[in-house]
Structure 1
Amino acid sequence: MTTGTGSTGSWGAGGAGRRRLGRAWGAAAVCALALAGCSARAVADGSGGTGAGVDAGAKPAVTTTVNPTPKPTSTPLKSLAGARVNIADGQTVGVGMPISVTFDHVIPAAERADVERQLKVSADVEGSWSWIKDRNLLDGQRVDFRPRTYWKPGTAVTVRAGAGITRHFTVGRSLVATVDVRTHSMTVEKAGSTRRVPITAGAPGMDTWNGTMVVSDKATKVFMNSQTVGYGDAYADYYYYAVHLTTSGTYLHQNPKANTYAGHQNVTHGCIGLATDGTAKSFYDEVIPGDVVTVVGSKDTVAVGNGYGDWNLSWEQWRAGSALA
């Protein structure tokens, strides 16, 4: 965790920031995407950003193949004003990216079904909306759409929210990384190929979150400060090739300690560390927002609202979060 320049959050010197700080993620302000956490700020290009918080828009309403057109209310709800969509128009995302709509005000429970009816996702997929308690927002300010299983590569998606808000995006190649903290390794499955990468994760007592996280954004340079996550003066420095995973501050980034400990021991403050020999940069270069990173063998599953933790709920649990269920 840390505080940096630009991208919100990172745990700090290889630390996923105080994972204890909470699991519900909340994109900064109304940005459904900013999974900041370790109080870090991205400084360099921040390439790969999800467009979080920049797109106003909303989402589809149902759970079906090529979602049927919801019956709009006679007058668009005022509650859709101030809505933002986490995916930019024309963007290409990974197979795990949920469509996340946030609002600048709380949507009362009695109005949520009507809001969902004005959100439409057009795609050949079975999916559903679900209201999420975002880490940095109030209950009723975030609703996400997620397929039953990961998006199929190549899927073209159109999102419409009420009248006048439309977003088109495409699902790119599949990249799913599985980090096993017990073997200190990460298996990367990308477009049919598989490789294994040595890593170092959170040390005992500063364990990396368990469960599935989705890349929200990335930055070549992030300043991480341990004071922002309760670790005193443990670190305050820039870290490179940082892939953002949770709002509470979990990053997968380059860490000099990985040169010695990757593949052998977990020594970070919660983040996932990769060596400086080109390993970190190589992973950084190929990752896009929406790619999936699942951690196994650790403790405490990341909360649904702590970044994009949507995939940590079963399909039945996910659907139950819809006001139309």
Structure 2
Amino acid sequence: MVALGIVVGLSACSPSGLPGSGEERPSTPSPVVDITPAAGDQINPTAPIVVSVRDGSLTSVTVTSPAGQQVKGAMADDKLSWRTTEVLGYGSNYEVTATVTGKDGKATTQHGTVRTLTPKAQAYPSLIPAPRAGNDVGVGQPIVVRFDHEIKDRAAAEKGLHVTATPDQPGMWSWISAQEVHYRPQQYWKPGTKVSVKVNLYGVDLGNGVYGKTDRTLDFQVHDSWVAKADGNTEQMQIFHNDKLVNTMPISMGKDITPTHVGTHVISDKQQKYTMDSCTYGVCPGNPDYYRSDEFFAERISNDGEFVHENPASTPQQGNSNVSHGCINLDQANAAWFFQNFGLGDVVEVTNSGGPALPVWDTYGDWSLSWDKWKAGSALS
């Protein structure tokens, strides 16, 4: 950055010796204050404002925000420099006041102004799972960062995303769209894993004039492994708790015209009572396939209307045929048991349903990709 030199004071020359001798005393150099960046330059709000002095020492420095609040800073031990120690705001003028003492013992105060850059837009990173106390998820839960603006420089964004897993296990970010990036381990999370996520994007240039709006953190823990395996050939769903088979229940999946997606599904929501309305995905009143009904013990396994839920109407077909609109139907007792034991991040693996593969973008189809294909979606791969 360019330094702005400010001459704080001048010391006049005076004759020495006897009048008329023509000799002069050595001049005392005036202290010069440098403010970085210089007036007219814009600073990234994460960079410090630095005030330094030559031929003198700093007595005090204050940097004041537009709201009149003093910005925290630290003085060097030799009192030759001072710098801010907290981040600044975007698009703001900060007033700098520096008092210096020259070698002649005289104190002088000088002022300057520093302006921070103004982004064209600021991208806010929302997080899934949502940060909250006691965060507890299943082994299939991906980490999701969703932006409210398109990210042009995906590599810059990804460099600001940090995941720490204890115990350590291989993992990678992969871009689902221009506004959404997911992180998953190579295999399901190990039960008991503690995960810490740091989103350090404030002040980061994300391309096309868009900068990160804020930094965020997320901590969660992975609970026991709960994996359901729904098989369209047997019309049964086996339940595994920490890899041990603990239950088997008859099911009915999607009929031929609305087959359940094949692949690994992850539970993203659960509701004791949920109103299912086909109009939410374009099949509205007047269409012979329209439906609207209240279902119980409903756990969402994809965003296009697939749930595991109770359906008393299909109980005669459970265990022998597929009659649903894509959901996995259970009787009341099994649905209640499933609802009690399965939650966010737990896994439902669907095979032999006759349906297409679950898309990677369909909350959450992350596990539909091989590890090599998943890694290829990283901007840093």
What TM-score do the two structures reach when normalised by structure 2? 0.61
Contact 1:88–1:169 (CA under 8 A) maintained in structure 2 = no
Aligned equivalent of 1:312: 368
Structure 2: distance between partners of 1:314 and 1:270:
24
Distance 1:119 1:91, change over 3 A: same
What does 1:118-267 align with in structure 2 at a 5 Å threshold? 118-123=160-165, 124-132=168-176, 139-162=177-200, 164-194=215-245, 195-229=247-281, 230=283, 232=288, 234-267=290-323
Contact 2:235–2:252 (CA under 8 A) maintained in structure 1 = yes
Q: Which runs of 5 or more structure 2 residues have no equivalent in the other structure?
A: 1-88, 91-116, 203-214
Structure 2: distance between partners of 1:151 and 1:302:
20
Structure 2: distance between partners of 1:160 and 1:265:
47
Aligned equivalent of 1:303: 359
Equivalent of residue 155 in structure 2, options 113, 121, 129: 113
- The two structures, once aligned, show a CA RMSD in angstroms of 2.0
How much does 1:80 deviate?
A: 7.1
Distance 1:227 1:121, change over 3 A: closer
What does 1:42-121 align with in structure 2 at a 5 Å threshold? 81-89=123-131, 90-108=134-152, 111-121=153-163
Output the amino acid matched with 2:128.
N
Structure 1: distance between partners of 2:221 and 2:270:
19
Aligned equivalent of 1:321: 377
Equivalent of residue 273 in structure 1, options 329, 352, 368: 329
Structure 2: distance between partners of 1:102 and 1:227:
26
- Correspondence 1:286 to 2:341: yes
Structure 2: distance between partners of 1:250 and 1:313:
20
Structure 1: distance between partners of 2:142 and 2:217:
16
Output the amino acid matched with 1:288.
G
Contact 1:93–1:169 (CA under 8 A) maintained in structure 2 = yes
Structure 1: distance between partners of 2:346 and 2:330:
17
Distance 1:181 1:270, change over 3 A: same
Structure 2: distance between partners of 1:226 and 1:235:
6
Output the amino acid matched with 2:170.
E
Aligned equivalent of 1:56: none
**When you count strand as a share of all residues, which structure comes out higher?**
2
Structure 2: distance between partners of 1:228 and 1:117:
37
How much does 1:225 deviate?
A: 2.2
Deviations 1:112-138 (A, max 9, x none): 001000000011111000000xxxxxx
Contact 2:278–2:291 (CA under 8 A) maintained in structure 1 = yes
Contact 1:227–1:233 (CA under 8 A) maintained in structure 2 = no
* RCO comparison, higher one (Cα < 8 Å, 6+): 1
Structure 1: distance between partners of 2:290 and 2:158:
45
Distance 1:140 1:93, change over 3 A: same
Structure 2: distance between partners of 1:289 and 1:80:
30
How much does 1:226 deviate?
A: 3.2
More deviation in 93-102 or 184-193? Answer: 184-193
Deviations 1:246-286 (A, max 9, x none): 1111111110123211111111111110002x110110111
Structure 1: distance between partners of 2:356 and 2:297:
26
Structure 2: distance between partners of 1:322 and 1:115:
11
Bigger Rg over Cα: 2
How much does 1:193 deviate?
A: 2.9
Contact 1:80–1:115 (CA under 8 A) maintained in structure 2 = no
Identity of aligned residues (%): 41
Structure 1: distance between partners of 2:248 and 2:122:
45
Output the amino acid matched with 1:258.
S
Structure 2: distance between partners of 1:155 and 1:98:
13
Corresponding residue SS for 1:152: coil
More deviation in 187-196 or 209-218? Answer: 187-196
Q: Which runs of 5 or more structure 1 residues have no equivalent in the other structure?
A: 1-74, 133-138
